Structure 1
Amino acid sequence: MYNLATNLERNAEFRSKDTAIIFNEDKIDYATLNQQVNKVANQLVRLGLQADDKIALSCPNTPAFVIGYYAIQKIGAITVPLNVMLKGPEVAYHLADSDAVALICFEGNSTLPTGEYGFEGFSQTPSCKHFIRIESGAETPAPEGSHSFQQWLAGASVHFDAVYRRAEDSCVILYTSGTTGRAKGAELSQSNMLCNAQACQALTNQKGTDVSMAILPLFHTFGQSLIMNTSILAGSALVLVPRFVPKNVMHLMQAHKVTHLAGVPTMFIGLLAFAEKHGGDYIEDIAANLKVAISGGASMPVEVLKQFEKKLNVPVIEGYGLSESSPVAAFNHLEYQRKPGSIGQPLPGVTMKVVDNEGNEVPRGKEGELLIRGHNVMKGYYKKPEETAKTVVDGWLHTGDIVRMDDDGYVFVVDRLKEVIIRGGFNIYPRDIEETFMAHPAVHMIAVIGVPHKTYGEEAKAFILLKEGANVSSKELAAWGKERLADYKYPRLIEIVAELPMTATGKILKRLLK
């Protein structure tokens, strides 16, 4: 059986009293977690949901995310994780594009009104029939016709056998930005997700006695595979952190004797700054237990990597992955030489090659596009066969990233062909911003690029050409964008220009804006 939820069922039987989830002051053991998952699975079936249905899940790093995720898997349905910062129209797009028939959504609060935006998007999507509200204690009125996640957990139906799934059956649809159009759903199979979790467990040498920490959002492919699914597979304890605050993270690492930490470079920068300011026994306690730190999502500055390793006496391994590759494809390995600045070597069962514009493999040391083949390559983009055919050719995933491979097979990312902006580990696709702003009555044309940012790695910057006679400020435009785009996505930097550089055919030359 390939159902991802069977990993949870196995641990519920063989290590039932071992801690599965740590959240604030609460600890949930594997037997209890499995029962809670079963309760939600039974309620989903009661609504008429079944295998191969798509069910969206919008929730921060709380036990409800883990419970909802595996409940969807239990019934054989397909999980569609959504970024909790998406606004109403963005939620509607993802629900409609994925054919989601239900949305399990965190209520949120005034600071992060996930539930408000979620219900707005749900209301705009006739094909999505059920809204399940994860209460957060905000005491806001329940939307009419919605279902209560907390009431489901209070139910008595604690038994549910995971539905049989084949290796090639779809497991999740992870939304990612590509080279054209709006966000696309990378459709990943049960085999994709299970093999990636197994590879990550071997990579990090994670055991049932270990404690891992989820500071990356679990709705993100990195946090989902390398952290949550790997921890549930290993039977280790998982510390859930809904919001990254360096002081809180360090406190939790010390209190729970965390052994495995994964994050994006901006998180390591924040943790390092805190560690340097608050040294002594506090840091020594953490260093005594921490076995490995894992970095991905963007390139980590080599100096930061070295300083973090020295300060916390822990190996930092960097890797590479895409939503389209489940996501992990390559990593520096603990048992071999680690080369700072590289993404390491391919995972077992994964092959990489570097090719030129004609598709010919280039010699070692030469730059070219990275291609990936293996158990981690997605089934394709959901309902987008033409986009899939462009991206996966003869089994090879075309990453759009320019790399070079050294004589030892280590891969170094040089640049990216894609226009994706990576801000603090989150992908931003310029066209999403451009299409949104083209609806503004004063905007004639817009071009969005990524510019370097000290904290987030990259920031979105918009160059806007106004319509004749229009009068609007950059500040007003930024505020307008903030109302319509997720907080990580809207451009903070807006420059109003008199003209945009173009080719003879009218294509904007973005490289001249950098």
Structure 2
Amino acid sequence: MHISELPDVRSARNPVGPCIEDDHEQLDNQEFLARVRNAAAVLRAHGIGAGDVVAIVLPNRLEFVVIMFAAWRLGAAVTPVNPGLTDAEARHQIEDSAAKAVITDDRARGVGTLDVTTVTAARPAAGGSAPDAVATAPDALALVIYTSGTTGRPKGVMLDHVNVAAMCRMIIDGIGLDETDHSLLILPLFHVNGIVVSVLSPLLAGGRATVSGRFRASTFFTVVERARPTYFSAVPAIYALLVALPDEVRPDTSSLRRVICGAAPMPAELIARFEKRFGVPVVEGYGLSEGTCASTLNPPGGRRKPGTVGLALPGQTVAVMDGEGNLLDDGAVGEVVVRGPNVMRGYLGLPDETARTVVDGWLHTGDVGRFDADGYLVLVDRIKDMIIRGGENIYPKEIENVLHTHPAVLEAAVVGAPDPVLGEVPVAHVVPLPGREITADELVEHCRGSLARIKVPVAVSVTDSLPRNPVGKIDKRRLRS
């Protein structure tokens, strides 16, 4: 089955079975198919066909999923646009992807000034007769996902249907999804994790999905108690916010079989705090958009090792490589590289950048890591985040891990600050647990007990919050500035 045929297959198997819902409505399988066919008719009436790109500028709502399948039904690809972008940022993505149409709501802003067709997302719309699904090649372009731009202008990651189908199968097998699973989507749909882990995978497994709107820690468990999902996928920042809820918040989490963490390493202390408080196992994984989402996972049915990001997903090869391209043995530290059917087709319009990132089939992640004795991947840090102090390499994550062991610390981020003599020195930014007081001197002394002198932060800033990018990762570029 081609993934574009999923609405038809689900409707044929169980027409009135639950499929997808959001904060406003819910659709069964036959209703979902009808909406997809209707949206495909609207897109076709606006000239969309095979090989085109459709930009979707929408918040989290089920129309996004409907339009995505409608575009695939016509053989077109989709580029999801963060609705929070500025006009200039959105313009870059729409123009760079050569989108032929933009699907948006009443917040279109400057989109109308572009040479594209703008279609307002609405439920019923007259678009002529509903078209049958186009026979789409497996290697046809499915998604163009734009990076968060932490190292420069956002780049378009080209993912074809082979990438997406392979990734979904790996997620289904790795997490153990089946027809009884119900995902709660809280991550943004402009990110591949939200699309693959929380929508496509449960639907392909025969389960269902609930698309939640803007995440709010104070109301999140009310949504969980109402929707009764079996899992959700989130980033460490969300788990930190949930752990920081007042002690009297004691929700019913009995429907959750497991929760998933990705996008950034989750401190072992935070995992322990969440599991102890809410009684739900945290399954941590690792991956990136260029690998269609995930490459490793702590096995839900096996040994989970907090502090690691787990084992390679079946169908992928994950290794560690030195600067000369040699694969390293377990225990050795080097760049994490990935190979498999999930590796992107390349960066849109950037052949040189693609050639530097995918070499001999290996996706170079830019992350430093090592494998422990059991084959679990331990992330050391990002190569670009490494601090060079007087010629010595310092990995901020090592310092952050020590800071997280302090009982009053909720979050920590360490960056390099310029120094006229040493080049760079480590500086820490720390968020305390609610109701806990902590001083910079106390944190520096805590670090001295576990770190070599050169790794101890020269300064610590205790703050209420840390800056984040649109996906929820700590924005270290802003901290450096």
CA distance in 2, matches of 1:309, 1:488: 21
Give the secondary-structure state (helix, strand or coil) at the position aligned to 2:301: coil
Please say if residues 311 and 376 of structure 2, whose CA atoms lie closer than 8 Å, have aligned partners that are also in contact: yes
Structure 2 residue 176 is the aligned partner of structure 1 residue 205: yes
- Please point out which of 215, 221, 238 is paired with 2:192: 221
Paired residues of 2:235 and 2:472 also in contact (CA < 8 A)? no
User: Among residues 335, 338, 348, which one is paired with 2:314 in the alignment?
Assistant: 348
CA distance in structure 2 between the aligned counterparts of 1:453 and 1:163, rounded to whole angstroms: 53
Q: d(CA) in 2 for partners of 1:52 and 1:68?
A: 16
Q: Equivalent residue for 2:96? A: 97
Which residue pairs with 2:10 in the alignment?
A: 11
Cα pair 2:101 2:118 within 8 Å, conserved: yes
Q: 2:42, 2:126 within 8 Å by CA — same for their partners in 1?
A: no
Q: For residues 32 and 268 of structure 1, do their structure 2 counterparts lie closer, same or farther at Cα, with a shift above 3 Å needed? A: same
Shift of 1:273: 2.7
CA shift in 2, pair 1:199/1:238, >3 Å: same
For 2:245, which of 274, 294, 311 is the aligned residue?
Answer: 274
Distance in 1 between residues matched to 2:59 and 2:321, nearest whole Å: 39
SS of corresponding position for 2:100: strand
Amino acid at match of 1:160: P
Change (3 A) 1:494 1:315: closer
RMSD after superposition: 3.1
Match of 1:130 in 2: 117
Q: Counterparts in 2 of 1:51-66, with a 5 A limit?
A: 51-66=50-65
How far residue 210 of structure 1 moved from its aligned partner, in angstroms, is 2.2
By how many angstroms is 1:25 displaced?
Answer: 5.2
State which of 155, 163, 166 in structure 2 corresponds to 1:184. 155
**Residue 236 of structure 1: aligned partner:** 207
Displacement of 1:180 in angstroms is 5.9
Q: 5+ residue gaps in structure 1?
A: 108-113, 135-148, 423-448, 456-481, 496-512
Q: CA separation in 2, counterparts of 1:489 and 1:291?
A: 25
Q: 1:142 corresponds to which residue? A: none
Secondary structure (helix, strand or coil) at the match of 1:196 reads helix
- Identity rate of aligned residues, in percent? 33
Q: 1:371 pairs with 312, 331, 337, which one?
A: 337
Take 2:184 and 2:219, find their aligned partners in 1: how far apart are those partners? 12
Q: How does 1:165-180 map to 2 (within 5 A)?
A: 165-177=136-148
* Ranges in structure 2 where 5+ consecutive residues have no aligned partner: 387-395, 398-425, 433-466
Deviation at 1:214, TM superposition (A): 0.4
C-alpha contact (below 8 Å) 2:264/2:473 kept by paired residues:
no
Give me the whole-angstrom Cα distance separating, in 2, the residues matched to 1:451 and 1:121.
Answer: 40
Q: Is the 8 A contact 1:38 1:157 kept in 2?
A: no
Change (3 A) 1:250 1:489: closer
Change (3 A) 1:257 1:49: same
Quote the offset at 1:359 in angstroms: 1.3
**TM-score using structure 2 length:** 0.79
- Contact between 1:338 and 1:344, CA under 8 Å: does it hold in 2? yes
What CA deviation, in whole Å up to 9, does each residue of 1:230-264 have, x standing for no partner? Answer: 12212322121110012322111111211111101
In the alignment, residue 291 of structure 2 is paired with which amino acid? S
| Contact map agreement 2:183 2:202 (CA 8 A) in 1 | yes
Aligned CA distance change for structure 1 residues 492 and 306 (closer, same or farther; 3 Å): closer
**3-state secondary structure, aligned to 2:137:** coil
Query: Among 274, 277, 282, which residue is 1:311 paired with?
Result: 277
Tell me which of 415, 425, 431 is aligned to 1:454. 431
Counterparts of 2:476 and 2:288, CA distance in 1: 26
How many residues align? The count is: 412
Q: Is the 8 A contact 2:58 2:64 kept in 1?
A: yes
1:423-476 deviation digits (Å, cap 9, x = unpaired): xxxxxxxxxxxxxxxxxxxxxxxxxx9974639xxxxxxxxxxxxxxxxxxxxx
- TM-score of the aligned structures, taking structure 1 as reference length: 0.74
Are the equivalent residues in 1 in contact too, given 2:39–2:125 (CA < 8 A)?
no
Rounded Cα–Cα distance in structure 2 between residues aligned with 1:494 and 1:341? 26
In the alignment, is the contact (CA less than 8 A) between 1:173 and 1:187 conserved in 2?
Answer: yes
Distance 1:91 1:305 in 2: 35
1:55-98 residue CA offsets vs partner (Å, 9 max, x unmatched): 11111111111111111111110100111111111111111111
